[in-house]
Structure 1
Amino acid sequence: MASHQMMDHDMPGMPGHGGHDTGPTCSMNMLFTWDYNNLCIVFRWWHISTAFQLAISMAIVAALGAGYELLRCRIRNLDKRNITATANPPSRLELAIGYGAQVFYSYMLMLVFMTYNGWIMIAVSLGAMLGFYYWGNVAERQMMCH
């Protein structure tokens, strides 16, 4: 049975693991937390260490959540135009690009949510709520990745 001490993990950029420290330390939580110190949102460069940075990040995340609802509205309109248009319907390529953008956007928001940080989760939810208020269609309401 090999001990953990004998295992050599070369992890570039990780202090104490044979690499050089290349930037701020990001805390990676797999449990729900309200702590924002050393929180990184999806990317190492989106590093939060102060309450002000958290507030700005929450506003950005809420705007991203609302933007997702705007994108969904535009995709819905393309789909409707595809069904009802007799002249100049969207091409299959336009529909595919819209669908791909929507899938990518939803999974990126899911990754943001998966910081397991309560403040960021609230921001995603508030953004979705605001986006739904402005661009949502009650008849087509459904849960997505955010």
Structure 2
Amino acid sequence: MDHEGGHGGHGGGGGGGGDHEGPTCSMNMLFNWQTENLCVVFESWRIDTPFGLVVSFLVIMAMAASYEALRAQSRRFEERLIEGERKRHPESSGSGGIGEDETPLLAPRSSSFRLSNQQRLTRALFYMAQVFVGFFLMLIFMTYNGYLMAATVLGAGIGFFYFGGDTLATSTKALSCH
């Protein structure tokens, strides 16, 4: 790819309608620090000024932090489900209790614990939101742009600091696409 002089386009007949005027998105498949005509996932999310880079950096950080916030909300929801089950069936929680050891969430010792359709839907919506944000962040990371990669990692770290919980049991899963 032409990284030096070809910011006005990719040269030649590269797909799309021929009536597009103006600069095209810069596409790189190698690590880079480019900030001119850098498109983030969509052609309409174009970075071509230092201010645009700063705003995009902050938006991407917020998105990465939101992934951790979603995970925290999902954990709290599941903890409420487990606590409700403990209150309904205290005999099935045993001496250690669910969630106090390495037992996965929603794996109660009672085989009669079933989620309602509304609870399953809520869990599915949390999961779908996490998958969407995770894959979106992956697409941003795959711009191979150092600034955008740094924004993703910093946002994930900040989000984990604020939303990751204060116990070791909540630190077992890293930011992932799926």
Mapping 1:27-46, distance limit 5 Å: 27-46=26-45
Unaligned runs of at least 5 residues, structure 1: 1-8, 14-18
RMSD: 2.2
Aligned to 2:109: none
Give 2:150's match in structure 1, choosing from 84, 105, 122: 122
Q: Is the 8 A contact 1:113 1:124 kept in 2?
A: yes
Q: Is the 8 A contact 1:58 1:123 kept in 2?
A: yes
TM-score with structure 2 setting the length: 0.68
Aligned in 2, Cα 1:74/1:108: closer, same or farther, shift over 3 Å? same
Aligned to 1:6: none
Aligned length: 133
Aligned to 1:3: none
Deviations 1:12-42 (A, max 9, x none): 23xxxxx221664111111000111110011
Aligned in 2, Cα 1:84/1:121: closer, same or farther, shift over 3 Å? same
Aligned in 2, Cα 1:100/1:47: closer, same or farther, shift over 3 Å? same
**d(CA) in 2 for partners of 1:60, 1:24:** 23
Letter in 2 for 1:140: T
Letter in 2 for 1:101: A
Instruction: Say whether residues 1:140 and 2:170 are aligned partners.
Output: yes
Q: Is the 8 A contact 2:156 2:175 kept in 1?
A: no
Larger Rg: 2
Deviation (angstroms), 1:144: 2.4
Aligned in 2, Cα 1:75/1:31: closer, same or farther, shift over 3 Å? same
Aligned to 1:53: 52
Letter in 2 for 1:25: T
Unaligned runs of at least 5 residues, structure 2: 1-12, 89-114
After TM superposition, which residue ranges in structure 1, 4 or more long, deviate above 4 angstroms?
A: 87-90
**d(CA) in 2 for partners of 1:25, 1:145:** 30
Give 1:131's match in structure 2, choosing from 159, 166, 171: 159
Instruction: Say whether residues 1:98 and 2:97 are aligned partners.
Output: no
TM-score with structure 1 setting the length: 0.81
